[in-house]
Amino acid sequence: MSDVTNLAVRHLFSLDADVAATPPAVVPGPTGTRVVVAVAEGTFTGDRLTGTVGPSVGGDFAVFRPDGSLRLDVRLVLQTNDGAAIYITYNGVGVPDANGVLRLKTAPTFEVGDERYAWLNNVQAIGIGHSDGAALHYDVYELT
């Protein structure tokens, strides 16, 4: 059995993005209320990856659960400063803290055709972040 008490990680990037001002689509369902929210714009910065979040080309298909927590289902396109497009998708959970800020834990994976970033196709990452509903921040780490 592996020792998972000390997972080895390497920082990939920090991501900051704004949620689109358009009201989200709301769909009630059996496990909670699905809210579809677009990401308006953003940036990501790291030692090996830097660029912008593709404006309004992705978003979160989240489910607000009856206990107040949030189930995340996110798809975004990241545009590197040197012209590569990276598709990122992640699931995760959000739990509101005492101030109403959502504390987010996610598991990103990537798809990229540009050979300079093909290494991302085999990366499993973890993301730790927060959101106040208008903006979000993540620190994303590669599991090594």
Residue 86 lies in a domain: yes
**What is the distance, to the nearest Å, from the Cα of residue 65 to the centroid of all Cα atoms in its chain?**
19
Using DSSP's 3-state secondary structure scheme, residue 38 falls into strand
Output the six-digit token pair for 127: 């993301």
Identify the CA nearest to 54 among candidates 45, 63, 42, 69.
42
The whole-number pLDDT of residue 40 equals: 85
The rounded distance, in Å, linking the Cα atoms of 99 and 33 is 22
Assign residue 120 the CATH number of its domain. 2.40.160.20
Local confidence pLDDT in tens for the 144 residues of the chain: 556 678 899 999 999 999 888 777 888 888 889 998 888 889 999 999 999 998 877 888 999 998 989 999 999 999 999 999 999 999 999 999 999 899 999 999 999 999 999 999 999 999 999 999 889 999 999 999
The rounded distance, in Å, linking the Cα atoms of 4 and 64 is 30
Mean pLDDT for the chain overall: 92
Q: Is the dihedral of CA 116, 74, 58, 95 positive or negative?
A: negative
Model confidence pLDDT, tens digit, residues 67-95: 989 999 999 999 999 999 999 999 999 99
Q: How many domains does the chain have?
A: 1
- Residue ranges of alpha helices (H) inside the chain are none
Residue 4 lies in a domain: no
The whole-number pLDDT of residue 136 equals: 93
Residue 2 lies in a domain: no
Residue 39 lies in a domain: yes
- Write down the residue that tokens 């196709």 correspond to: 121
- Domain of 21, in residue numbers: 9-143
Residue 100 lies in a domain: yes
